[in-house]
Structures are given as structure tokens and as C-alpha cells.
Amino acid sequence: MDFEIIKSLLNEVDTKIVLLVIDGLGGLPMVEGGKTELETANTPNLDSLASKSNCGLSEAISPGITPGSGPSHLALFGYDPLKYQIGRGVLEALGIGFEMTKRDLACRANFATMKDGIITDRRAGRIPTEKNEQLCKLLAEKIGKIDDVEVIIRPGKEHRFVVVFRGDGLSDGLTESDPQKPGLKPLKIEALNEGAKKSAEIANKFIERVNEVLKDERPANTALLRGLAKHPDIPSMKEVFGLKTAAIANYPMYKGLARLVGMDILETGSTIESEFNTLEKNFAKFDFFYVHIKKTDSYGEDGNFEAKVGIIEEVDKFIPRLEALKPEVIVVTGDHSTPAKLKAHSWHPNPFLLYSPVCLADKVQVFSERECASNGGLGRFPATEAIPLMLAHSLRLNKYGA
């Protein structure tokens, strides 16, 4: 739905929405004819909630397209993930918990080994993280600024680090310096449009400075830059949907994604219980809460079916506490599927339930992929429709036309 239309319909009311994202929730049976993780899990509370909800299957991007966490979350937050693209550098910066500003251009960087101008190892022998941290500290000391642009350097794991250029007039639309295989020269970073020329110049000067500072280091004596990307120009959920929003998430990437759309990030602990404690403590202060459960996805990626089932069952125990808060709308869904069978994100649509006192419950009695498919009144639908549905059910949208 066009943002201008949504904005023109917004109604100021004091109602609350909780979006509970169980990351990678959807799954597959390990053997043909078997049950999925969600079907296997004993979830009396989710089933009871589903039986009074409007259910369906959501898709973040398009049928058959497996989403990364960036686009899958943007879709659930109401943004067309094909229109609002988050560059790889930005995701990397968010992933290490770096707080980006709108003036920032971020890159994924690798320490690498160069000999006689030729890259001999693109990962510098996967140097230990401690060495990475030392080198980042050294670079930060030596390269504080390039021209009028501030340079911020943050270590990641092994050979990976993040470089953020902060200044005016930076823009994306840049090639990468990584030649993609050893035995080649690093590439000059080039501007793909007129507006990116300054950024290309800064990035190339940065690489020259790195080469000077690290010239006596071995094996990490250069850096390769990839995924150079500007902070996306994305309107906040407050601006577009009129919502005062808060995120309850443990992992930096998800906090970063939430920050991109203007959410306040609430302090919380590393357990599911602490996330629900945080929700309760802050319930009066916001209109919209995004609560993120990470480990279903992690265990899915590990191929650990039983552990994923366990996390779903653990989440189920907190549903009564969520209901007791009496938000006008509760949505429980995944951002994408992560079947343990595939050990990876997948394209399978997400089981989705929307509960509200003014929803028309459908015939779903058990919260599962297949019940949502067969009996869900919402059918299979684009995840970007979730926010308009949440706004409607919390009575936040006026009538369109007379």
C-alpha cells in the first residue's frame, strides 16, 4: 500500500500492537510424511491463540524467493524490500552493533595478503580475531580522517572488519576492490554515477593509507573493500505508520534493522524470559513492539530439529504473559523459514497469526504451516500487508473515500 495513502488515513488512538517474530519459524519434516518443527512442538498456548486468530502464510519478497534477514524484516515492518534495499556493508555494520547515521557509507572489509601488487590471500590466512582487533586499533589511530571524511574502523571475526566513512556528500553506487580470486591485482574502486565520485576517491585513498600503515605487517598487509553502501533513505515507522515503536532483540543485526526504521532499542537480557520481562516493563511506553526470538533460526541453520522444537516450546510458555498485557493486536510469525532439513533460510512461506478482539477468527485450531495453509482466512499473502492489517485491527486507520 502506498505510504502517502496510509499516512492520509492515520487515526490517533491509544492502542497497542505486538509483533512477535520467531526467526526462521517455518520448517519441513526431516522425512517425507513427517512433521515440521512447529507441528512437532507441543504449543498449547499458540494453538489456543490461533483458534481465535486470523491466520495465513506470509511471504517476504515473492513466491519462491528465499529472503535474507534484512529484506525479510523490512517486509514485516511494512517496507517493500525490493524498493528499500539495504546494502551489504550496512548489514555488516548493523551486524556488529555499529550505530549508523544517515551520513554514513559502510563497507565490509577483509584483511588480505598482497605481494608485489598481487593479492596472494584474500583472507590473510584467516588471522585470529585478536590480531584483527590489534590491526583495527592501529588503523584507527593512524587514519582518523581522509580529507573532510571521518573514518571509523571496527573489527569483526577473523579477517573481517567494517569500515564506515562518515561525512557529507557520500553516496553509494561504487564498485568493489576485491578481485574475487588470488593472483590478481586489487581493483580500483570506481563510481558508477557522478554523485559517487567523492566516495570512490575517499575509499581509494583509504586503501592507500592502509597499505602504508600495514606495509611491514605479515600476513595482513592490505585490505579489500566490498559492499560499499550508504545508510538507506528509509522513512521511519513513526512517519509512515504513526507508531511509536520499540524493539526487543538480543542480536546486533536485528537491533540494527529496527534502528533503521526508527525503533527505540530496549535493553534486554539474552534469554527469552528477559525479552518478555522487557516487554512487560515497557508496555505502557510504546504503541508497537517488535519482539525477536533468534534461536529457532540458529538451530534451523545448524540442522538441529529437536533444539528448534525446544525453542518453539519455550516461546509457547510466554504466550499467556503476552496475552495478559491485552494489546489490541498480537501477530506471531517468522521472518522467513529455516527448515532444519535444509540447514538454511528457505522460501517456504511463514505461518502467521493475527489476534485482535476485532479480527474474524478463521477455522485454524492449531498453529502450524499446514493449518495456516488449509484453513487460514488470510491465505498466502505478501508480508508487507501485515502492518496495514495490524493498523486496521488496532483501529488506527480511517476509511478511504466516502
Binding-site ranges for a second copy (CB under 8 A): 1-2, 5, 9, 28-29, 32-33, 36, 52, 57, 61-72, 81-82, 85-86, 88, 91, 339, 341-342, 344-348, 357-358, 360-363, 369-370, 373-381, 385, 388-393, 397-402
**Cβ proximity to a second copy, 281 vs 363, nearer residue:** 363
Whether residue 155 has a cis bond before it, omega within 30° of 0: no
Sign of the CA dihedral 350, 75, 163, 201?
positive
Q: Give the nearest distance from C-beta 172 to a second copy in angstroms.
A: 15
Length, in residues, of the chain:
402
Nearest one of 341, 94, 328 to 231, comparing CA atoms: 94
C-alpha–C-alpha distance, residues 86 and 71, integer Å = 8
**Cβ proximity to a second copy, 68 vs 125, nearer residue:** 68
Q: CA 169, 175, 178, 184: dihedral to nearest 10 degrees? A: -130
Q: Give the nearest distance from C-beta 376 to a second copy in angstroms.
A: 8
**Cβ proximity to a second copy, 176 vs 275, nearer residue:** 176
Q: Give the nearest distance from C-beta 297 to a second copy in angstroms.
A: 13
C-alpha cell at 336: 522467513
- DSSP at 60: S
Nearest one of 232, 210, 43 to 113, comparing CA atoms: 210
Nearest one of 202, 179, 198 to 110, comparing CA atoms: 179
**Cβ proximity to a second copy, 74 vs 105, nearer residue:** 74
**Cβ proximity to a second copy, 17 vs 279, nearer residue:** 17
**Cβ proximity to a second copy, 41 vs 391, nearer residue:** 391
Q: Give the nearest distance from C-beta 253 to a second copy in angstroms.
A: 9
What SS3 state is found at 379? strand
**Cβ proximity to a second copy, 257 vs 315, nearer residue:** 257
**Cβ proximity to a second copy, 4 vs 116, nearer residue:** 4
Q: Give the nearest distance from C-beta 10 to a second copy in angstroms.
A: 12
Q: Are strands 104-115 and 379-382 parallel, antiparallel or unpaired?
A: unpaired
Q: Give the nearest distance from C-beta 77 to a second copy in angstroms.
A: 14
Q: Give the nearest distance from C-beta 345 to a second copy in angstroms.
A: 6
Q: Give the nearest distance from C-beta 66 to a second copy in angstroms.
A: 5
**Cβ proximity to a second copy, 98 vs 381, nearer residue:** 381
Q: Give the nearest distance from C-beta 271 to a second copy in angstroms.
A: 26
Cell 538451530 locates to 299
Give yes or no for a contact between 188 and 127, defined as CB atoms under 8 angstroms apart: no
Give yes or no for a contact between 117 and 185, defined as CB atoms under 8 angstroms apart: yes
Where does 32-136 show beta strands of DSSP type E?
Answer: 54-59, 104-115, 118-121
Longest Cα pair distance anywhere in the chain, in angstroms? Answer: 74
Q: 293 vs 19, 146, 225, 271, 290, CA distance in Å?
A: 11, 40, 32, 9, 10
Q: 88 vs 70, 81, 151, 269, 383, CA distance in Å?
A: 10, 14, 18, 27, 22
Q: Give the nearest distance from C-beta 375 to a second copy in angstroms.
A: 5
**Cβ proximity to a second copy, 207 vs 234, nearer residue:** 234
Query: How many Cβ atoms sit within 10 Å of the Cβ of residue 163?
Result: 26
